[in-house]
Structure 1
């Protein structure tokens, strides 16, 4: 099984970076097996085509606009994902939707896509997440770990997070 966890977001726009921040937290807190690739997609678009081609499971971590309270956790899968990409819920979805549509046309789309996100509070210029969104980063990490576990892939937590090793 080939799995990609894709964190997307702009690190300069506060809550817009939650996907990348969650990916960093996952990488720092867990040992990831070789069949799982962690990709910091930043604000990438079509450059992700090759990385996402033919994966069995794509887990997207991102800020998601869902008309909910800031910091609300959002999980989309199955039939919800195409709806997600038709309604502008994320600043990246134009790029990501083009990538997924291109892969679909080539017959190489990910077999399954799960979007894990948080309703943002602000996209003001700044490198810090707002309080309600920062509080959800551990939930995004746990949700990604649970998604993998549901697919028979175990991520073991590190005794000491990599960020604390010097």
Structure 2
């Protein structure tokens, strides 16, 4: 994706953002899901974006978005490959014992965006419990097995957004 398109005046109202590092095994989960989604025909209201590992630099990317779907590796204390769906508010309220590998930067960025009126109206996080986040390329089998299911969860969020905005 070209930087010029990213900062254009007109933006897709729904941003699907992958956060992670493909050089740290299962931390590359989000990138694998994003690549899987990129092979599909998605509505024009949807933009896919690979954020890498630094969410704090992305406030400009969130600006003027109706919905943000974040894909990330998430430590929730369950078996490797367990999928999660939650909102930043649920984590802030302590309702969930989730620990996104990039949660602090993401939650801080969303909070800062709220202060300067640069936050998506709605945010949901789709995460997968990693098995191994050590240095290396490739996903563990339990995490790799969830790429398609996680993509389905993202598509469900996209479809709900589209239907609610008809």
TM-score scaled by length of structure 1: 0.83
- C-alpha contact (below 8 Å) 2:19/2:52 kept by paired residues: yes
Q: Match of 1:13?
A: 24
Aligned pair 1:138/2:118, yes or no?
A: no
Q: Match of 2:15?
A: 4
How far apart in 2 are the matches of 1:88 and 1:106? Answer: 26
Number of paired residues?
151
TM-align CA RMSD:
2.0
How far apart in 1 are the matches of 2:97 and 2:52? Answer: 21
Alignment of 1:38-117 (within 5 A): 38-77=48-87, 79-83=89-93, 89-117=99-127
How far apart in 2 are the matches of 1:78 and 1:121? Answer: 23
- C-alpha contact (below 8 Å) 1:18/1:134 kept by paired residues: yes
Q: Match of 2:44?
A: 34
How far apart in 2 are the matches of 1:2 and 1:133? Answer: 29
Q: In 2 relative to 1, CA 134–16 (structure 1 residues): closer, same or farther, beyond 3 Å?
A: same
How far apart in 2 are the matches of 1:83 and 1:120? Answer: 23
Deviates more, 1:14-23 or 1:42-51: 42-51
How far apart in 2 are the matches of 1:152 and 1:105? Answer: 27
Q: In 2 relative to 1, CA 72–128 (structure 1 residues): closer, same or farther, beyond 3 Å?
A: same
- C-alpha contact (below 8 Å) 2:126/2:153 kept by paired residues: yes
Uncovered stretches (5+) of structure 2, i.e. residues with no partner: 1-11
Q: In 2 relative to 1, CA 48–87 (structure 1 residues): closer, same or farther, beyond 3 Å?
A: farther
SS in 2 for 1:71: coil
Uncovered stretches (5+) of structure 1, i.e. residues with no partner: 154-166
